[in-house]
Amino acid sequence: MRGRRKQGRTSPEPDRRAVALKPRRLGPRDVLHVGSAGLRSRPVRVVLSALGIAIGIATMIAVVGISASSQAQLLQRLEALGTNMLVAEPGEGMFSGQEVKLPKDAVGMVGRIDGVERAGASGDLRHSVRRSQMIPEEETGGIAVKAATEGLLGVLRGTTASGTWLNAANGRYPAVVLGHVAAERLGIDRPGRQVWIDDRYFTVVGILAPLPLAPEVERSALVGWESAQRLLGFDGHPTTVYERSTDASVRQVQRLLAPTIDPRNPQNVAVSDPSEALKAKAATEGAFSTLLLGLGGIALLVGGVGVANTMIISVLERRHE
């Protein structure tokens, strides 16, 4: 009976095989809940982190936008003014103190060069311009008096802010066109007024708009070529010759300009490109933009490292969980 009882109490052995555990991962709702809890519990940290990122991005956008806009405006202005204008002036003579003069027919000679589209000239006059004869002669205000050919304004691509330019009609009489700066210094804002030049009143027939490529013209009072010879004792030798050529022939014309004006002594003619200053300024703007972009990138990198450091610290704080 005891054997039967023992047989009745026996039960099958339990299965002791290892059960594989599967890790549980956070679902999208759990991630959203945990993340929002962190945001709610530390609002100051969240605001500072977001502010750092926003300031870094805003700085980058502002730096790139302002520098790119400035450079684009400069290039647009340079394109409107053109890079195909050259200027010829008297250079230094072979001997010290030698006075160099350009030929009287320099404009016509330059106009015959292949590729030249327009040519004009101005000649310096040893006179001063004043608002009236009551003003002392030595108070010139930095305004020069120049003789100008009829084609000068077209070569400079200039316009008149008011009035008209010198032509075959008014260029023979005591008429004058004031540059933009000259008109401001004389206090003349419209044509019809008179200015005093060499013991004679000249009537203002026009005021020029700004000429960035010819600042010397902006600060001048311009009279007609014929009237300058007849009334002001001008000898007819141009002081500055301006020319416009096609874009493809600028360099060729630049090489031929001095030998054409003075074949015997081309070294007496100095040729320059007034647009070089604007080109150099545009290049400087590009380099400055690159520098600012680099500084903005460094600032953004430093801000990103700070934000990453803050995030790592917040993770380490909860690592015990």
3-state SS track over 251-280? HHHHHHHHHHHCCCCHHHEEEECCCHHHHH
pLDDT for the residue numbered 119 = 94
Same domain? 248 vs 296: no
Q: Is the pLDDT of residue 300 over 80?
A: no
**pLDDT tens digits along 257-292:** 999 999 888 888 999 887 666 566 555 656 666 666
Q: Is 225 helix (H, G, I), strand (E, B) or coil?
A: helix
**pLDDT tens digits along 57-83:** 777 777 667 666 766 666 666 565 567
Q: Is the pLDDT of residue 17 over 70?
A: no
Kindly state whether residue 25 falls inside one of the protein's structural domains.
Answer: no
What average pLDDT does this structure show over 31-54?
A: 73
Same domain? 214 vs 294: no
Measured distance CA(93)–CA(29) in Å, rounded:
89
Same domain? 174 vs 113: yes
Same domain? 267 vs 171: yes
Number of domains in the chain: 2
Write out the residue range of the structural domain in which residue 51 sits.
40-79+279-317
DSSP 210: P
pLDDT for the residue numbered 208 = 96
pLDDT for the residue numbered 205 = 96
Query: Left, alpha or beta for 187 (phi > 0: left; psi -120 to 50: alpha)?
Result: left
Kindly state whether residue 88 falls inside one of the protein's structural domains.
Answer: yes
Same domain? 128 vs 248: yes
Same domain? 48 vs 106: no
Same domain? 105 vs 161: yes
pLDDT for the residue numbered 297 = 73
Kindly state whether residue 5 falls inside one of the protein's structural domains.
Answer: no
What average pLDDT does this structure show over 173-185?
A: 94
Beta strand ranges found along the chain (DSSP E): 85-90, 116-125, 129-130, 144-148, 160-163, 175-178, 194-197, 201-208, 220-224, 240-245, 269-272
Same domain? 135 vs 234: yes
The residue among 233 and 5 whose pLDDT is bigger is 233
User: Of 40-44, 95-99, 152-156, which gets the smallest average pLDDT?
Assistant: 95-99
In 3D space, the residue among 75, 243, 223, 218 whose CA is nearest the CA of residue 158 turns out to be: 218
User: Of 123-132, 239-248, 308-317, which gets the smallest average pLDDT?
Assistant: 308-317
pLDDT for the residue numbered 1 = 46
Same domain? 214 vs 154: yes
DSSP 18: P
Q: Is the pLDDT of residue 97 over 70?
A: no
Residue type, 14: P
Query: Left, alpha or beta for 5 (phi > 0: left; psi -120 to 50: alpha)?
Result: alpha
Query: Left, alpha or beta for 115 (phi > 0: left; psi -120 to 50: alpha)?
Result: left
pLDDT for the residue numbered 75 = 60
Kindly state whether residue 24 falls inside one of the protein's structural domains.
Answer: no
Same domain? 70 vs 139: no
pLDDT for the residue numbered 32 = 78
DSSP 181: H
Same domain? 217 vs 286: no
pLDDT for the residue numbered 180 = 94
Same domain? 179 vs 93: yes
